[in-house]
Protein backbone atom coordinates (compact mmCIF):
# COMPACT_ATOMS: atom_id res chain seq x y z
CA UNK A 1 0.00 0.00 0.00
CA UNK A 2 1.23 3.41 -0.88
CA UNK A 3 2.04 5.14 2.40
CA UNK A 4 1.08 8.51 0.98
CA UNK A 5 -2.55 7.34 1.19
CA UNK A 6 -1.92 5.58 4.51
CA UNK A 7 -4.68 5.71 7.07
CA UNK A 8 -7.37 7.85 5.46
CA UNK A 9 -6.65 7.05 1.79
CA UNK A 10 -6.96 10.73 1.13
CA UNK A 11 -4.04 12.96 0.47
CA UNK A 12 -3.44 16.61 -0.22
CA UNK A 13 -1.90 17.39 -3.58
CA UNK A 14 1.03 19.18 -1.90
CA UNK A 15 1.88 15.96 -0.08
CA UNK A 16 1.51 13.86 -3.21
CA UNK A 17 3.99 13.26 -6.02
CA UNK A 18 1.83 14.87 -8.71
CA UNK A 19 3.34 18.35 -8.85
CA UNK A 20 6.93 17.11 -8.94
CA UNK A 21 8.18 17.69 -12.46
CA UNK A 22 4.88 19.17 -13.60
CA UNK A 23 4.35 20.48 -17.09
CA UNK A 24 1.69 23.20 -16.84
CA UNK A 25 -0.47 23.57 -19.92
CA UNK A 26 -2.28 26.73 -18.89
CA UNK A 27 -0.93 29.80 -17.07
CA UNK A 28 -1.41 33.57 -17.11
CA UNK A 29 2.11 34.48 -16.04
CA UNK A 30 3.12 36.79 -18.90
CA UNK A 31 2.75 40.13 -17.14
CA UNK A 32 0.46 42.98 -18.06
CA UNK A 33 -1.31 41.39 -21.02
CA UNK A 34 -4.48 40.03 -19.39
CA UNK A 35 -6.12 39.54 -15.98
CA UNK A 36 -3.24 37.38 -14.73
CA UNK A 37 0.14 38.53 -13.40
CA UNK A 38 0.69 42.27 -13.83
CA UNK A 39 4.35 43.06 -13.10
CA UNK A 40 7.75 41.53 -13.87
CA UNK A 41 8.57 41.26 -10.15
CA UNK A 42 5.34 39.40 -9.49
CA UNK A 43 6.09 37.13 -12.45
CA UNK A 44 9.58 36.28 -11.20
CA UNK A 45 8.24 35.55 -7.71
CA UNK A 46 5.51 33.30 -9.13
CA UNK A 47 7.99 31.44 -11.33
CA UNK A 48 10.36 30.83 -8.41
CA UNK A 49 7.48 29.63 -6.24
CA UNK A 50 6.12 27.31 -8.92
CA UNK A 51 9.60 25.89 -9.44
CA UNK A 52 9.90 25.21 -5.71
CA UNK A 53 6.56 23.34 -5.88
CA UNK A 54 7.97 21.11 -8.61
CA UNK A 55 6.81 22.73 -11.86
CA UNK A 56 9.46 22.45 -14.57
CA UNK A 57 7.76 23.44 -17.82
CA UNK A 58 5.08 26.06 -18.41
CA UNK A 59 3.09 27.00 -21.47
CA UNK A 60 2.35 30.69 -21.14
CA UNK A 61 -1.24 31.03 -22.34
CA UNK A 62 -2.39 34.66 -22.17
CA UNK A 63 -6.01 35.37 -23.03
CA UNK A 64 -6.64 36.42 -26.59
CA UNK A 65 -10.10 37.96 -26.68
CA UNK A 66 -11.69 40.86 -28.46
CA UNK A 67 -11.68 43.32 -25.55
CA UNK A 68 -7.98 42.84 -24.71
CA UNK A 69 -6.36 43.66 -28.05
CA UNK A 70 -3.64 40.98 -27.77
CA UNK A 71 -2.40 39.49 -31.02
CA UNK A 72 0.08 36.73 -31.83
CA UNK A 73 2.57 39.42 -32.85
CA UNK A 74 2.19 41.54 -29.70
CA UNK A 75 2.43 38.47 -27.46
CA UNK A 76 5.54 37.21 -29.26
CA UNK A 77 7.16 40.55 -28.60
CA UNK A 78 6.21 40.36 -24.92
CA UNK A 79 7.56 36.80 -24.74
CA UNK A 80 10.94 37.96 -26.13
CA UNK A 81 11.04 40.36 -23.22
CA UNK A 82 10.06 37.53 -20.85
CA UNK A 83 13.00 35.45 -21.99
CA UNK A 84 15.36 38.35 -21.46
CA UNK A 85 14.01 39.27 -18.02
CA UNK A 86 12.86 36.12 -16.22
CA UNK A 87 15.70 34.11 -14.72
CA UNK A 88 16.01 30.55 -13.43
CA UNK A 89 15.93 27.00 -14.76
CA UNK A 90 12.19 26.77 -15.61
CA UNK A 91 11.32 26.07 -19.26
CA UNK A 92 8.72 28.22 -21.01
CA UNK A 93 6.87 28.18 -24.30
CA UNK A 94 4.49 30.79 -25.61
CA UNK A 95 0.98 29.73 -26.62
CA UNK A 96 -2.37 31.42 -25.96
CA UNK A 97 -5.89 30.80 -24.73
CA UNK A 98 -8.24 31.82 -27.52
CA UNK A 99 -11.73 33.00 -26.69
CA UNK A 100 -14.08 31.91 -29.47
CA UNK A 101 -15.65 35.36 -29.80
CA UNK A 102 -16.31 37.81 -32.62
CA UNK A 103 -12.63 38.71 -32.89
CA UNK A 104 -11.44 35.14 -33.33
CA UNK A 105 -11.81 34.99 -37.12
CA UNK A 106 -9.40 37.93 -37.45
CA UNK A 107 -6.88 36.34 -35.06
CA UNK A 108 -7.04 33.20 -37.15
CA UNK A 109 -6.33 35.12 -40.32
CA UNK A 110 -3.29 36.74 -38.70
CA UNK A 111 -1.94 33.44 -37.38
CA UNK A 112 -2.60 31.57 -34.14
CA UNK A 113 -0.24 30.76 -31.27
CA UNK A 114 -0.37 27.01 -30.79
CA UNK A 115 1.16 24.79 -28.13
CA UNK A 116 3.14 22.78 -30.66
CA UNK A 117 2.15 23.89 -34.19
CA UNK A 118 -0.97 21.71 -34.05
CA UNK A 119 -2.59 21.89 -30.61
CA UNK A 120 -4.69 24.98 -29.94
CA UNK A 121 -6.10 25.98 -26.53
CA UNK A 122 -9.59 27.48 -26.80
CA UNK A 123 -12.29 28.66 -24.42
CA UNK A 124 -15.80 30.09 -24.61
CA UNK A 125 -17.72 32.40 -22.33
CA UNK A 126 -18.78 30.69 -19.08
CA UNK A 127 -22.42 31.62 -19.53
CA UNK A 128 -23.23 30.90 -23.17
CA UNK A 129 -21.63 29.24 -26.19
CA UNK A 130 -20.75 31.27 -29.28
CA UNK A 131 -23.12 30.89 -32.17
CA UNK A 132 -22.38 27.63 -33.99
CA UNK A 133 -19.69 26.43 -31.54
CA UNK A 134 -19.47 23.01 -33.14
CA UNK A 135 -19.18 24.54 -36.60
CA UNK A 136 -16.25 26.73 -35.49
CA UNK A 137 -14.51 23.74 -33.90
CA UNK A 138 -15.09 21.54 -36.94
CA UNK A 139 -13.74 24.24 -39.22
CA UNK A 140 -10.53 24.50 -37.15
CA UNK A 141 -10.12 20.73 -37.15
CA UNK A 142 -10.52 20.70 -40.93
CA UNK A 143 -7.61 23.14 -41.05
CA UNK A 144 -5.48 20.61 -39.15
CA UNK A 145 -5.72 21.95 -35.62
CA UNK A 146 -6.02 19.58 -32.65
CA UNK A 147 -8.30 21.37 -30.23
CA UNK A 148 -7.92 21.51 -26.47
CA UNK A 149 -10.90 22.97 -24.63
CA UNK A 150 -9.74 24.84 -21.53
CA UNK A 151 -11.54 23.98 -18.27
CA UNK A 152 -14.75 22.47 -19.72
CA UNK A 153 -16.02 22.09 -16.13
CA UNK A 154 -16.39 25.87 -15.88
CA UNK A 155 -18.95 26.30 -18.67
CA UNK A 156 -22.29 26.61 -16.92
CA UNK A 157 -24.23 25.93 -20.11
CA UNK A 158 -22.57 22.61 -20.93
CA UNK A 159 -24.31 19.40 -19.97
CA UNK A 160 -23.21 15.77 -20.11
CA UNK A 161 -24.65 15.33 -23.57
CA UNK A 162 -22.61 18.22 -24.93
CA UNK A 163 -19.42 17.00 -23.21
CA UNK A 164 -19.93 13.61 -24.85
CA UNK A 165 -20.60 15.16 -28.23
CA UNK A 166 -17.46 17.32 -28.09
CA UNK A 167 -15.34 14.35 -27.07
CA UNK A 168 -16.86 12.28 -29.88
CA UNK A 169 -15.72 15.06 -32.22
CA UNK A 170 -12.16 14.64 -30.96
CA UNK A 171 -12.02 17.75 -28.77
CA UNK A 172 -9.56 17.19 -25.91
CA UNK A 173 -10.33 18.50 -22.43
CA UNK A 174 -7.95 20.33 -20.08
CA UNK A 175 -8.73 20.23 -16.35
CA UNK A 176 -8.04 23.21 -14.10
CA UNK A 177 -6.58 21.87 -10.87
CA UNK A 178 -8.32 24.65 -8.95
CA UNK A 179 -11.72 23.37 -10.13
CA UNK A 180 -11.22 20.19 -8.12
CA UNK A 181 -10.57 22.33 -5.03
CA UNK A 182 -13.88 24.15 -5.47
CA UNK A 183 -12.23 27.51 -6.19
CA UNK A 184 -14.78 28.37 -8.90
CA UNK A 185 -17.76 27.11 -6.92
CA UNK A 186 -19.66 23.90 -6.31
CA UNK A 187 -20.92 23.24 -9.83
CA UNK A 188 -17.51 23.40 -11.57
CA UNK A 189 -16.11 21.25 -8.74
CA UNK A 190 -18.82 18.62 -9.18
CA UNK A 191 -18.44 18.67 -12.96
CA UNK A 192 -14.65 18.38 -12.71
CA UNK A 193 -14.93 15.40 -10.39
CA UNK A 194 -17.45 13.72 -12.65
CA UNK A 195 -15.43 14.34 -15.82
CA UNK A 196 -12.27 13.10 -14.09
CA UNK A 197 -14.03 9.92 -12.93
CA UNK A 198 -15.37 9.41 -16.46
CA UNK A 199 -11.84 9.62 -17.89
CA UNK A 200 -12.90 12.62 -19.97
CA UNK A 201 -9.80 14.79 -19.47
CA UNK A 202 -6.57 14.59 -21.46
CA UNK A 203 -4.51 17.38 -19.94
CA UNK A 204 -4.05 19.39 -16.77
CA UNK A 205 -3.14 23.00 -16.04
CA UNK A 206 -3.06 25.50 -13.20
CA UNK A 207 -4.78 28.39 -15.02
CA UNK A 208 -2.53 30.42 -12.73
CA UNK A 209 -3.60 34.05 -12.29
CA UNK A 210 -2.54 34.89 -8.71
CA UNK A 211 -0.20 33.04 -6.42
CA UNK A 212 -2.46 33.41 -3.36
CA UNK A 213 -5.46 31.85 -5.13
CA UNK A 214 -3.43 28.96 -6.50
CA UNK A 215 -1.68 28.35 -3.18
CA UNK A 216 -4.92 28.23 -1.18
CA UNK A 217 -6.55 26.03 -3.84
CA UNK A 218 -3.73 23.51 -3.61
CA UNK A 219 -4.04 23.48 0.16
CA UNK A 220 -7.70 22.54 -0.21
CA UNK A 221 -7.17 19.92 -2.90
CA UNK A 222 -7.51 16.39 -1.52
CA UNK A 223 -8.11 13.18 -3.45
CA UNK A 224 -8.23 9.46 -2.97
CA UNK A 225 -6.03 6.83 -4.59
CA UNK A 226 -8.34 6.28 -7.56
CA UNK A 227 -8.48 9.98 -8.43
CA UNK A 228 -4.74 10.29 -7.86
CA UNK A 229 -4.20 7.61 -10.48
CA UNK A 230 -6.62 9.33 -12.86
CA UNK A 231 -4.67 12.57 -12.39
CA UNK A 232 -1.32 10.86 -13.03
CA UNK A 233 -2.50 10.10 -16.56
CA UNK A 234 -3.23 13.79 -17.20
CA UNK A 235 0.18 14.90 -15.91
CA UNK A 236 1.87 12.32 -18.15
CA UNK A 237 -0.17 13.37 -21.22
CA UNK A 238 0.69 17.01 -20.61
CA UNK A 239 4.39 16.24 -20.38
CA UNK A 240 4.16 14.15 -23.55
CA UNK A 241 2.60 17.08 -25.36
CA UNK A 242 5.67 19.11 -24.42
CA UNK A 243 8.27 16.50 -25.42
CA UNK A 244 6.34 15.77 -28.59
CA UNK A 245 7.61 12.22 -28.83
CA UNK A 246 5.69 10.41 -26.13
CA UNK A 247 8.57 10.57 -23.65
CA UNK A 248 7.87 11.16 -20.00
CA UNK A 249 9.40 10.51 -16.64
CA UNK A 250 7.67 10.28 -13.31
CA UNK A 251 7.93 12.06 -10.00
CA UNK A 252 11.46 12.44 -8.69
CA UNK A 253 12.84 11.29 -12.01
CA UNK A 254 10.79 14.01 -13.63
CA UNK A 255 12.09 16.61 -11.23
CA UNK A 256 15.68 15.52 -11.73
CA UNK A 257 15.43 15.18 -15.48
CA UNK A 258 16.29 18.82 -16.11
FE1 LIG B 1 -7.06 30.72 -18.53
pTM of the model: 0.93
CB of 111 within 8 A of CB of 117? no
* Residue 204, SS3 per DSSP: strand
Say how many Å lie between the CA of residue 60 and the centre of ligand 1: 10
Task: Give domain status of residue 10, yes or no.
Answer: no
Q: What is the pLDDT of residues 182-227, one digit of tens each?
A: 999 999 999 999 999 999 999 999 999 999 999 999 999 999 999 9
What number of CA atoms fall less than 13 Å from residue 33's CA on the CB side?
28
Residue 84 CA to ligand 1 centre (angstroms):
24
Residue 87 lies in a domain: yes
Domain count across the chain? 1
Report the alpha-carbon distance of residue 236 to residue 22 in Å, rounded: 9
Ligand 1 centroid to Cα of residue 157, in Å, is 18
- Averaged over 172-185, what is the pLDDT? 97
pLDDT band at 6; cut points 50, 70, 90: low
Residue 247 has pLDDT above 80, yes or no: no
What is residue 9's predicted lDDT score, i.e. its pLDDT? Answer: 73
Query: Which residue in 201, 134, 125 sits closest to 166, CA to CA?
Result: 134
1 C-alpha vs ligand 1 centroid, how far in Å? Answer: 37
Q: What is the mean pLDDT of residues 122-138?
A: 95
| pLDDT of the residue at 131 | 92
- Domain membership of residue 31 (yes or no) is yes
Give 3 Cα–ligand 1 centroid separation in angstroms. Answer: 34
239: in domain: yes
Q: How far is the CA of 196 from the centre of ligand 1 (A)?
A: 19
Output the CA 63–ligand 1 centroid distance in Å: 7
Q: What was the pLDDT predicted at 251?
A: 56
Buried (b) or exposed (e) across 55-74, using 16+ Cβ within 10 A?
A: bbbbbbbbbbbeeeebbbee
Task: Convert the pLDDT of each residue in 69-118 to its tens digit.
Answer: 999 999 999 999 999 999 999 999 999 999 999 999 999 999 999 999 89
| Domain annotation covers residue 253 | no
Structural domain boundaries, residue 79: 22-244
User: Per mean pLDDT, which range of 55-64, 150-159, 225-234, 237-246 is the poorest?
Assistant: 237-246
> Domain of 152: which CATH number?
3.20.20.140
Instruction: Give the model's pLDDT for residue 4.
Output: 60
Tell me, yes or no, whether 8 lies in a domain: no
For the chain, the distance separating the N- and C-terminal CA atoms, rounded to the nearest angstrom, is 30
User: Could you tell me if residue 3 is inside a domain?
Assistant: no
In tens, the pLDDT along 20-35 reads 999 999 999 999 999 9
Residue 227, domain member (yes or no): yes
* pLDDT band at residue 245 using 50, 70 and 90 as cut-offs: confident
User: How far apart are the CA of 170 and the centre of ligand 1, in A?
Assistant: 21
Distance 28 CA to ligand 1 centre (A): 6
How much is the mean pLDDT over the chain?
93
Q: How far does residue 26's CA lie from ligand 1's centre (Å)?
A: 6
Rounded to the nearest whole angstrom, what is the distance from the C-alpha of residue 97 to the centroid of ligand 1? 6
Amino acid sequence: MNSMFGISWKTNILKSDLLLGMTDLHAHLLPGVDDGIQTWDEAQRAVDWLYALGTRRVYLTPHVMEELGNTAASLRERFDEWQARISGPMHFRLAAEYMLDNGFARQRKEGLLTLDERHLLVETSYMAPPMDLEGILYDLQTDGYELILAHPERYMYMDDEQYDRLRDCGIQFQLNLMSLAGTYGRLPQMKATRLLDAGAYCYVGSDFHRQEAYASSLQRLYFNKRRHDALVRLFINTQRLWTGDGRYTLYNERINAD
